[in-house]
Chain A
């Protein structure tokens, strides 16, 4: 177990290092530098040089990379070029919208997908299976931002159950949660469809295993065999998907936030892109990648909890 955890930890650190290198170099290869961008094309050479040295742009590449990484480790992402405030402040204001939204959507997606997948697998070929599978086919095919628009049309404009957008803050947690509900559903339903399909096929794979027949020979009923022997084993592939989905939900949130006018990381990154405030773009991307890598690490550890074969082997 220790060995397994250490192994995963090493690959976590390598992933983070490579990710930071990739993101740093992508930003570096952009034509033109931020100083000339900020001052416009008519800037004088000496003002430009002064700004460059103020921003540390005259340092060698390696030095700038290490400064950036050391800054990240201390929670210092640098200063936004357009807002002139620390990026960490910009992010910490917005992450409390984006992260809860992703978690909310993940919970919804799992809560919908597990029962649906298990029901479909246990009634294989029956009416509920056909219905659930038909619904998931639709769910997989729906673009989530379009689904969000339809949801707004129905629940906000026609039925007026929810507001069409905006976020009142967490001072009243229930209000906050309510304003995240439509966005979370729009994000969660298509993902739930994918997850339910995988849950079902993973369960069906397990149900065709020999040990299910052994369990039946012991006197377990079909549903006992399913619950006691198939579900836990079927979780192994499902966990991978849940991990991948988290990254998808976090990133997908960027678009959904636009539709619902939520002041999250998505809004921030779009404003930063149009203002070419690349340090903000770089920081937000790094943060998202960091979160995803950490989540995948957690998924790897969850594997070991589910599957004893991983605990002793490397």
Chain B
């Protein structure tokens, strides 16, 4: 008998139908992955199984967990099933824990509310469970003292403290670094085997899916478009949407050949240290060396990638190059001029450099129209175009990124995430800078949109020589859009070289571990009829 059997589940909230006839089956000890892009309904499917859907949800069909239909179970009985028969792990480990309670207490709570145990026993079992998930810190610590990966382990310990038969994990590793992701996935796999649990994992990352799942369910707009055993699916992809997803995930752009030329940006032994408040009254001030002797250069027309995990100094370096933050040692020069001159950002340099940020929603002032947003960099020019010329420049910038001149009168909320990133690129291009910094510029986008934006970048490189620094945690993206790559760890550049060379033959142990930890998509084949 199946552990979990979702049968023809339909869900609507208000007049919106969100899920259409979703059916999923999980056996004990089996890992089933639901994948799809944002808005596909994968997370709501998971919440439906937990009985935690928002108010006003109307459901049809059935969700059988062993012999109980979740849809017809009372809230009271559901409460006694949650945490005992089924546990759930969420995406954001930084906010999933109560900041004012110790981690031990939060794990013990799962045990206390379901079983008649003494506080002492519950705490002891909680400590054991924390150890079981590979956490070595003391249970009396508070969440804010732990790293993201450690917190996610606490959340997992909470979910499995009573050894539920079903574990649901909603994007459990999306907010984590690749090496941490690899360890958490390892832990989940291990727990499934050990406890003979069913695991329903929800993720947008096809490489993760291929690596961990026994069965794959692909969703699009609330429907299941394809579902099969992992190996079967990978070797015989039938549905065009699945095919498009896999294509987009492995998308490679064709960059024009880079012709070696003169240096544009040079970063010379740059260092930046942050001071923290003292921990004790007379103790030493804790310091954090965010950048430690960083040196590299980017030539005209050269596309350079920067990879590293969170806290490695990527953001500090970006801010320093952009002149948003002063460095304590070393020098950053663009085209022979210092980014900072006399403690002030250098306007000369600003004319030659622009930036595209990660968040397509936070990058724009919501109160301005697109024309004003795009025209903002014109401010740095000495004789900025006005009147007709300005309108012309705006139209050209919009058309360059695949939008139309008519879009200039709209507000930013009228655009989708992908379109917003295009607008961000248009804003960067309008002053025809020598260098663009892409700061995780495609990380927040769905794979298919990401592929389009990457194509756009390659396209722009073909139109005119464009040098950029492409900062990303996603190795596969960096691999396709850069000529050279820098690898950062603990504020230092530990390895740099031609992108292909570094990826195929990493020299530094850290680079090797990064590449090893990054999940990769296996070769896939498509069913005859879809080709």
By a beta-carbon cutoff of 8 Å, the part of chain A in contact with chain B is 2-3, 6, 209-211, 213-221, 224, 228-229, 232-233, 306-309, 312-314
Q: Is B511 an interface residue (CB 8 A)?
A: no
Q: B185 CB to closest chain A CB, in angstroms?
A: 20
B281 & A220 in contact (Cβ 8 Å cutoff): no
Q: Is the CB of A219 within 8 A of B81?
A: yes
Q: Is the CB of A214 within 8 A of B158?
A: yes
Known: A217-B50, A218-B82, A219-B82. A211 touches B114 (CB 8 A): no
Q: Complex Cα distance A213/B155, Å?
A: 12
B330 contacts chain A at the CB level, 8 A cutoff: no
A-B residue pairs in contact (CB < 8 Å), sample of 22: A2-B280, A3-B278, A210-B95, A211-B95, A213-B96, A215-B109, A217-B50, A217-B88, A217-B90, A218-B109, A218-B159, A219-B82, A220-B83, A221-B79, A224-B113, A229-B98, A307-B99, A307-B100, A308-B100, A308-B142, A308-B144, A312-B279
Say yes or no for B524: interface residue by CB 8 A criterion.
no
Instruction: Let me know if A215 and B280 touch, CB within 8 A.
Output: no
Cα–Cα distance between A74 and B75 once the two chains are bound (Å):
64
The binding surface of chain A is classed by DSSP as helix
| Least Cβ–Cβ distance between B439 and chain A, in angstroms | 26
CA of A213 to CA of B281, assembled, Å: 38
Let me know if B144 and A218 touch, CB within 8 A: no
Determine how close the nearest CB of chain A comes to the CB of B503; give it in whole angstroms.
Answer: 36
Contacting pair B100 A232 (CB below 8 A)? yes
**Bound Cα distance A3, B96 (Å):** 29
Q: Are B281 and A6 in contact (CB under 8 A)?
A: yes
- B98 pairs with A218, CB closer than 8 A: no
Closest residue on chain B to residue A229 by CB atoms: B98
Chain A residues whose CB sits within 8 angstroms of the CB of B113 once the complex forms: 218-220, 224
Chain B residues proximal to chain A, CB less than 8 Å:
50, 52, 75-76, 79-84, 87-88, 90, 92, 95-101, 109-110, 113-114, 142, 144-145, 155, 158-159, 277-281
Q: Is the CB of A216 within 8 A of B82?
A: yes
Distance in angstroms between the alpha carbons of A195 and B80 in the assembled complex = 35
Apart from A3-B281, A211-B95, A229-B101, what 13 extra A-B contacts exist at CB < 8 Å? A3-B278, A210-B96, A214-B90, A214-B97, A216-B52, A217-B88, A218-B82, A218-B87, A220-B83, A220-B109, A233-B98, A306-B100, A313-B277
B92 touches A314 (CB 8 A): no
In the complex, A313 Cα to B155 Cα: how many Å? 24
The 10 closest A-B pairs by CB, nearest first: A219-B83, A314-B277, A210-B95, A219-B82, A217-B88, A218-B83, A308-B142, A211-B98, A218-B110, A214-B96
**Contact present for B278 and A309 (CB under 8 Å):** no
Contact B110 A211, beta carbon cutoff 8 Å? no
Could you say which residues of chain A place their CB within 8 Å of the CB of B52? 213, 216-217
User: What is the CA–CA distance of A312 and B280 in the complex, to the nearest angstrom?
Assistant: 9
Q: Which residues of B contact A218 (CB under 8 A)?
A: 82-83, 87, 109-110, 113, 158-159
Chain A residues with Cβ under 8 A from B81's Cβ? 219
